[in-house]
Amino acid sequence: MSVATESPPLERLRTALAEIADLNHAESVLDWDSRVSMPHRGALARAHATGTLTRLAHEKFVADEIGDLLEGLRATEEEAGPDSFDGALIRVTRREWERARRVPPELAGEISHAAGIAVAAWDEAKAASDFPSFVPQLERMLELKQRYIECFPPRDSRYDIALDEYEEGMTTADVTAIFDRLKPELIGLIERHRDDPRDDSAFRGPFSVTAQQEAGRRVLEAFGFNDEEWRIDETPHPFAQKPGVGDIRLTTHTDERDLTSLFSTMHEFGHGIYEYSVDPAFARTPLGGGTSSSIHESQSRTWENLVGRSHGFWRWFYPQLQQLFPQKLGAVDEASFVRSVNAIRPGALRGDADEVTYGLHIILRFELELQLLAGTVSVRDLPGAWNAATKEYLGVDVPDDAHGVLQDMHWSIGLIGYFPTYQLGNVISVQIWERARADLGEVEDQFSRGEFGPLREWLTEHVYRHGGMYAPRALLERVTGSDIDPEPYLAYLQAKFD
């Protein structure tokens, strides 16, 4: 891109960032397409195209010119202040530029290439429940992650550097403190409710796929989905994506065996509505998406759990669901159904976990990641360590590695330091929720009338519209007046389950 040297530096920075955002837009559509639309055998050509886009975007971003512009904009940043768009744009761009510059392009290329190989190996290993076949690839990814970490100045813990990639300003010590507080409480909750009587009405299929999709659409439309700006498709692993303003894409996975697709749809809606509601003036800048992984997850969890498993929500929606599934649900009363979607059900799979057991799945992964990076557990020893922790925390025997250490794709693509943000999101979701309820009054009464606009607008005003302007903890401080704090979350779980 030829950036005309006469324009003011901030304008030149924005022009350069807009071009990079356009490359990211293309990459996002290619990624969505490869998971939703692309014929299977188009994968090799697609890998080339995606690789080129990623490399071009990276090369353009780490250019000296961006660094020179950022250097020249220090006075502007200070003058504008951190609460202004300009100030935030310069701050965030500098943080990302400095991180990106530390990683040599060759290493970034090696990681991306090795991830492509390792995710395919993981896929096969999982299908065959054959962990040993995956060991060399996982060892390679771990070695590359260590080299990545060594590009940065030493911190208290190597893990700090891995974590900082996904969650600005969060340290290993912070996470450890929070998880240490949660772990015994979660284990205690499970113990106390292990022998509760359980209603399984939501999990005794078959439930027609078409009727489930209709249920999903009705809920989405009440939440704020519209066909002019959103779409929803089926994929094996649900996700949400925003290629650009006015283009929000959700996916879900509808399985006739149970009704979990409905919760997955609400989860992805939470990711989608966050990105949808970012101030459109932030388009084509690094501020145009959510601010961090944990804040994003807090919002998917809000719509899936705090809204979607609430009594108010089901007072509105259960009669409709009964109409869609008269034979299955006609004789099940609302209270039983709500109990069935809120039961504690310890199991081996994170993907099937309820609100209580979910946290322990994450804590287990966090602890193993720490040990992997510290070298106190080897890749070969992972299955044993995994199965022991699952037994200890959840009281569950892992039937095989496909349902154990191989269940998640994350490590194969180098996502080490990412899992904790899922549970931090759960913690944060309740902090923001309490604040919203304090302002909005009886939100569940609103839900029971199918009214989700007030909550959505409150979240837009306080969280969503700010996009990437504020670092996650600064945003949380603005919204709740507090740093990240597990107590509201624990109180919520105890009130709900005890």
369 touches 166 (CB < 8 A): no
Under the binding rule (CB under 8 A), the answer on residue 235 touching a copy of itself is no
Of positions 26, 117, 349, 409, contacts a copy of itself by CB under 8 A? 26
Nearer to a copy of itself by Cβ, of 156 and 228: the residue is 228
3-state DSSP call for residue 104?
coil
- Sheet with 230-234, edge to edge strand ranges: 230-234, 247-252, 240-244
29 touches 46 (CB < 8 A): no
143-151, 223-231, 317-325, 452-460 -> range binding a copy of itself (CB under 8 A):
223-231
Strand partners, 249: 231, 241
Instruction: Answer yes or no: 96 catalytic.
Output: no
Nearer to a copy of itself by Cβ, of 1 and 120: the residue is 1
Under the binding rule (CB under 8 A), the answer on residue 247 touching a copy of itself is yes
Nearer to a copy of itself by Cβ, of 48 and 330: the residue is 48
Under the binding rule (CB under 8 A), the answer on residue 245 touching a copy of itself is yes
Structure-token pair, residue 390 = 């699952």
- Closest contact distance (angstroms) between CB of 146 and a copy of itself is 27
Is beta strand 230-234 parallel, antiparallel or unpaired with respect to 247-252? Answer: parallel
For residue 39, cis peptide bond before it (omega within 30 degrees of 0)? no
Of positions 227, 236, 326, 438, contacts a copy of itself by CB under 8 A? 227
Start-to-end Cα distance in the chain = 60
Give the helix/strand (H/E) hosting 243. strand 240-244
Residue 418's nearest CA partner among 194, 214, 175, 189 is 175
**Whole-angstrom distance, CA of residue 256 vs CA of residue 271:** 24
Q: Which residues touch 124 (CB under 8 Å, ≥6 apart)?
A: 130, 133
Under the binding rule (CB under 8 A), the answer on residue 29 touching a copy of itself is yes
Q: Which residues touch 9 (CB under 8 Å, ≥6 apart)?
A: 69, 72, 73, 76
Of positions 8, 11, 18, 198, contacts a copy of itself by CB under 8 A? 18
Nearer to a copy of itself by Cβ, of 180 and 229: the residue is 229
- Closest contact distance (angstroms) between CB of 447 and a copy of itself is 26
Binding mask 270-289 for a copy of itself (x = CB under 8 A): -------------xx-----
88-96, 181-189, 237-245, 432-440 -> range binding a copy of itself (CB under 8 A):
237-245
Under the binding rule (CB under 8 A), the answer on residue 231 touching a copy of itself is yes
- Closest contact distance (angstroms) between CB of 248 and a copy of itself is 7
DSSP one-letter code for 233: E
Q: Active-site residue among 77, 268, 297, 355?
A: 268
**Whole-angstrom distance, CA of residue 98 vs CA of residue 58:** 12
Under the binding rule (CB under 8 A), the answer on residue 39 touching a copy of itself is yes
Binding mask 183-222 for a copy of itself (x = CB under 8 A): ----------------------------------------
263 touches 341 (CB < 8 A): yes
Under the binding rule (CB under 8 A), the answer on residue 230 touching a copy of itself is yes
**Whole-angstrom distance, CA of residue 11 vs CA of residue 5:** 10
Under the binding rule (CB under 8 A), the answer on residue 117 touching a copy of itself is no
Q: How far is CA 340 from CA 200, 277, 343, 367, 464, in A?
A: 5, 32, 5, 31, 31
- Closest contact distance (angstroms) between CB of 465 and a copy of itself is 18
18-26, 151-159, 306-314, 387-395 -> range binding a copy of itself (CB under 8 A):
18-26
3-state DSSP call for residue 231?
strand
Under the binding rule (CB under 8 A), the answer on residue 23 touching a copy of itself is yes
Residue 431's nearest CA partner among 384, 485, 388, 392 is 485
- Closest contact distance (angstroms) between CB of 44 and a copy of itself is 7
The gap from C-alpha 345 to its chain's centroid, in whole angstroms, comes to: 22
95-103, 228-236, 443-451, 469-477 -> range binding a copy of itself (CB under 8 A):
228-236
Q: Which residues touch 52 (CB under 8 Å, ≥6 apart)?
A: none
246-254, 293-301, 342-350, 470-478 -> range binding a copy of itself (CB under 8 A):
246-254
Of positions 156, 195, 228, 498, contacts a copy of itself by CB under 8 A? 228
Binding to a copy of itself (CB under 8 A) within 40-59 occurs at 40-46, 48-49, 51-53, 55-56
Of positions 9, 82, 244, 347, contacts a copy of itself by CB under 8 A? 244
Q: What size, in residues, is the chain?
A: 498
The DSSP code sequence of 135-192 is HHHHHHHHHHHHHHHTTS---SSHHHHHHHTTSTT--HHHHHHHHHHHHHHHHHHHHH
Nearer to a copy of itself by Cβ, of 22 and 352: the residue is 22
Nearer to a copy of itself by Cβ, of 105 and 375: the residue is 105
- Closest contact distance (angstroms) between CB of 107 and a copy of itself is 16
**Whole-angstrom distance, CA of residue 73 vs CA of residue 91:** 10
- Closest contact distance (angstroms) between CB of 311 and a copy of itself is 33
Of positions 7, 37, 376, 378, contacts a copy of itself by CB under 8 A? 37
- Size of interface with a copy of itself, in residues (CB under 8 A): 42
Show which residues are catalytic. Answer: 268
Please give the residue ranges that form the binding site for a copy of itself (CB under 8 A).
Answer: 1, 18-19, 22-23, 25-27, 29-30, 33, 36-46, 48-49, 51-53, 55-56, 227-231, 243-248, 283-284
